[in-house]
Amino acid sequence: MFELRNVTKSYLTPKGRRYVFRNLSLAIPPGKNIGLIGRNGAGKSTLMRLLGGADVPDSGTIATDRSISWPVGLTGGFQGSMTGRDNIKFVCRVYGATGEAMREKVRYVQEFAEIGDWIDEPIKTYSSGMRSRVAFGLSMAFDFDYYLIDEVMSVGDAQFKRKCADVFKEKLQTSNVVLVSHSMPEIKKLCDVVLLVRDGGIQVYDDVAEGIKAYNS
């Protein structure tokens, strides 16, 4: 579960301070797959970074008793000048997988992302599809209670999407997902709760269909 208490988050821009959330309090029930929906720039990714601990609120607390993955997104998470293999090894070391465990994870990602010998090329030479395949595969190589997935699944081709759906189905037996997506069918299929991020506030919809309706209206 997640509990947000009086969370305020702002960013400094050249034009001054911009608030993404002000005094936000909410509790997300445990054991649910969470969909984050909202317009571009509403703060979905910020919320996800906050949940994952990659960013900290200006004030307030975010409490959870679960292990949470890093935000798996289209951008970031990789050092562009290093090769795919080095990036994977780097993340393995950060998460404490060394030796045989690391080699196994590298093999898994290589095979899952279908990048073949591109794994030894710098990440910055990858196409966005390849990057997102590696990013998604890398997060799937680790076991977390919550996976934070930021639109990665929507860019792949049909075959890759099917593969994602399969591995996801397996993971979701034991884990949960926080999913940012603009694809409503995907939200409908995977999520039990929808958080609609709008105008610096968040509405929780236990009924997914209702949340999607509120988003579309």
Partner 1 sequence: MGAVWMLIEPICHLLIFSVLFALLRARSVSGVEYPVFVLVGMAPFLLYRNTALRLMDSLRENRSLFGYKQIKPLDTYVARVIVETCIAATVYAILVFGFAWYGFDMTVHRPLEWVATLLLGLLFSFSLGMLLALITHALSSLKTIIRMAFFPLYFISGVLIPASYLPPAMMPLLLLNPFLHILELIRAQVLPNYTPVDGVSETYVISFTVVLLFLSLGTYRARRMHLISTKNG
- 77 belongs to the binding site for partner 1 (CB under 8 A): yes
Nearer to partner 1, 91 or 197 (CB): 91
* Interface map 1-40 toward partner 1 (x if CB under 8 A): ----------xxx---------------------------
Neighbours of 124 (CB within 10 A): 11
For partner 1, the binding residue among 7, 28, 35, 70 (CB under 8 A) is 70
Does 78 contact partner 1 by CB under 8 A?
Answer: yes
Sheet containing strand 193-198, edge to edge, reads: 68-72, 146-150, 176-180, 34-37, 193-198, 201-205
* Residue closer to partner 1 (CB basis): 79 or 98: 79
Alpha carbon 16 to chain centroid distance?
28
Q: Where are the alpha helices (DSSP H) in the chain?
A: 44-52, 84-94, 100-113, 128-140, 158-171, 184-190, 208-216
Residue type, 9: K
Of 48 and 164, CB closest to partner 1:
48
List, in order, residues 6 or more apart from 113 with CB less than 8 Å away. Answer: 130, 133, 134, 136, 137
Q: Residue 46 or residue 176: which is nearer to partner 1 going by CB?
A: 46
C-alpha distances in angstroms, 132 versus 71, 95, 151, 180?
12, 20, 9, 14
Residues 37-56 that bind partner 1 (CB under 8 A): 49, 52-56
Q: Which is nearer to partner 1, 98 or 210 (CB)?
A: 98
CA distances from 92 to 109, 128, 144 (A): 11, 22, 14
Q: Does 91 bind partner 1 (CB under 8 A)?
A: yes
- DSSP helix/strand/coil, 211: helix
Check binding of 94 to partner 1 (CB under 8 A): yes
Using CB under 8 A, which of the segments 30-38, 68-76, 164-172, 174-182 binds partner 1?
Answer: 68-76
**Interface pick for partner 1 out of 79, 125, 127, 128 (rule CB under 8 A):** 79
Q: What is the DSSP letter of 53?
A: T
54 vs 165 by CB, closer to partner 1 = 54
The footprint of partner 1 (CB under 8 A) covers 11-13, 49, 52-56, 58, 70-71, 73, 75-80, 91, 94-95
